[in-house]
Amino acid sequence: MANNLLHNEPEILVKIAGGDQLAFNLLFKHYHIYVHSFSRKITHSDNLAVEIVQDIFLKIWLGREKLGHIDSFGAYLNRLVRNHCFNVLRQLAQETKSSAIHLKFATDVDHSTVQQLDYKETESILNEAIEMLSPQQRMVYMLCHQQGHKYEEAAEKMNISHQTVHAYMKDALRKIREHFKKHSVEYSLFITVLFK
């Protein structure tokens, strides 16, 4: 549990509840390593843990009004992280199950000339979408999604923060999905190409 209290923590929580960003920065600096470590322990994923850290502190800031009435911030943070991790894992499990169904369909169907052409066309659409990304989004997508680098590794290579890497990746995937929708591509083919 996050029981290593921040100095003058009750006072800092009251300040955050009032919108004090400097106080919030102190809270973040004190607890972000714990949140990352706890999240990684639950999810077994460094990239997910990085995203969860951002999600958790965004939730804390957006719900800051309640901080002045919390008796134990450590217990509150512990519960918040655990619940969010399980929600993320539950969502990923649902997405993986859906993807597996579509991938099984794509694998089991007869590989006719038409289907091969469909696949090539879909891959071409993906390449088009990648080319339409901004240079920074394209670099993050290639480093993290295609080459398998962690967000922190990509951040170091690009000399930017891992928060910026996360933002670029979210925007890149959103634009790619929108490009596929624009071309009315079958979801099974989209999954097959995107996660090949």
- Residue pair 168/158 in contact (Cβ under 8 Å)? The answer is no
Separation in Å, CA 11 to CA 29, 35, 56, 66? 16, 21, 21, 13
Query: Is the alpha carbon torsion for 94, 196, 174, 44 positive or negative?
Result: positive
**Coil, strand or helix at 28:** helix
Q: pTM for this structure? A: 0.51
Predicted pLDDT of residue 115? 45
pLDDT of residue 27: 92
* CATH T-level fold of 9-89: Rna Polymerase Sigma Factor; Chain: A (1.10.1740)
Q: Which residue has the tokens 């394209």?
A: 138
What confidence score (pLDDT) does residue 186 get?
46
Burial class (CB within 10 angstroms; exposed 0-12, middle 13-18, buried 19+) of 72: middle
Return the pLDDT at 156. 92
Which residues 6+ apart lie within 8 Å of 35 measured at CB?
A: 2, 52, 53, 56, 57, 77, 81
Domain ranges of the chain: 9-89, 109-194
pLDDT at 5: 64
> Residue 119 region, left (φ>0) first, then alpha (ψ -120 to 50), else beta?
alpha
- Contact criterion met (CB below 8 Å) for 68 and 23: no
Alpha carbon 123 to chain centroid distance?
Answer: 24
What integer pLDDT is reported at residue 170 of this predicted model?
A: 83
Helical spans, DSSP H, in 63-143: 73-108, 113-132, 135-140
Using alpha carbons only, what angle is made at residue 106 by residues 149 and 188, rounded to the nearest 5 degrees?
65
What CATH class has 109-194?
A: mainly alpha
Q: CA-CA distance, 16 to 22, in Å (whole number)?
A: 8
pLDDT block averages, 10 residues each, the chain of length 196: 70 92 91 93 86 90 88 91 89 62 48 47 78 91 80 89 86 80 54 46
Q: How many CB atoms lie within 10 A of CB 80?
A: 19
Q: Which residues contact 53 (CB under 8 A, 6 or more apart)?
A: 32, 35, 36, 39
